[in-house]
Amino acid sequence: MVSTVVLWCVVLALVAVVLALARQIGILYGRVAPMGALMIDQGPQVGDAVPPLSMRDLDGAEFMPGAGGRGQLLFFLSPTCPVCKKLLPIVKSTAASERRWLSIVLASDGDEVEQRKFIRRAGLEAFPYVLSTNLGVTYHVSKLPYAVLLDERGIVRAKGLVNSREQLESLFTAKDLGVASIQDFVDQRP
């Protein structure tokens, strides 16, 4: 009889602990702001028109950032970047789900032969792939993976360092909300 009472006391104490932990998790969730793409305040600012550039992709097609009347996501990557490789399935998924309004262009620099091997290994043949140091310098890309979201008029709508699906999707959320970044949206809230 005593052991049954003790066990019930233990069960009730555990229930109380679980409820207290659930409450604390809810409080922490409310305090922690969503983490969007890390904006580096260099290069063209959100709201600026794209600087005029003309180049060719690896297939020889002409490429001009912001041209074509569709939204563009410039995704800067490197064959030696492990985070970039981790994000490639997410980029492919995004290309499929947003294909009505968005074109994704992959951008890098370096040796063309190595880049072509990387394209084949990663299955990136469906994407325009621009090999241009000038493009990275224009957007002040200093860390990878980095993404710049352009609207159909060639205006920078969001940009930043993207290390996860959430950070990549935060670019689209920022565009939809009409803010420079998720951090700006959180800062504007009362």
Question: pLDDT (tens digit, 9 = 90+) per residue, 124-174?
Answer: 999 999 999 999 999 999 999 999 999 999 999 999 999 999 899 999 999
pLDDT of residue 31: 64
Clarify whether residues 6 and 80 are in a common domain. no
Phi, psi values for residue 78, rounded to 5°: -145, 145
Q: How confident is the model at residue 5 (pLDDT cuts 50, 70, 90)?
A: very high
Clarify whether residues 18 and 101 are in a common domain. no
What percent of the chain shows pLDDT beyond 90?
78
Q: Which domain holds residue 66?
A: 55-188
Classify residue 133: in a domain, yes or no. Answer: yes
The count of structural domains within the chain is: 2
Average pLDDT, the chain: 91
Both tokens of residue 168?
């990549």
Polymer length of the chain: 190
Classify residue 41: in a domain, yes or no. Answer: no
**Does 95 score more than 90 pLDDT?**
yes
CA-to-CA dists, residue 129 to 65, 78, 87, 163, angstroms: 12, 11, 16, 20
**Does 79 score more than 70 pLDDT?**
yes
Classify residue 124: in a domain, yes or no. Answer: yes
Clarify whether residues 110 and 155 are in a common domain. yes
Instruction: Give per-residue burial for 70-102: e unless 16+ CB within 10 Å, then b.
Output: ebbbbbbbbbeeeebbebbeebbebbeeeeeeb
Clarify whether residues 18 and 65 are in a common domain. no
Classify residue 38: in a domain, yes or no. Answer: no
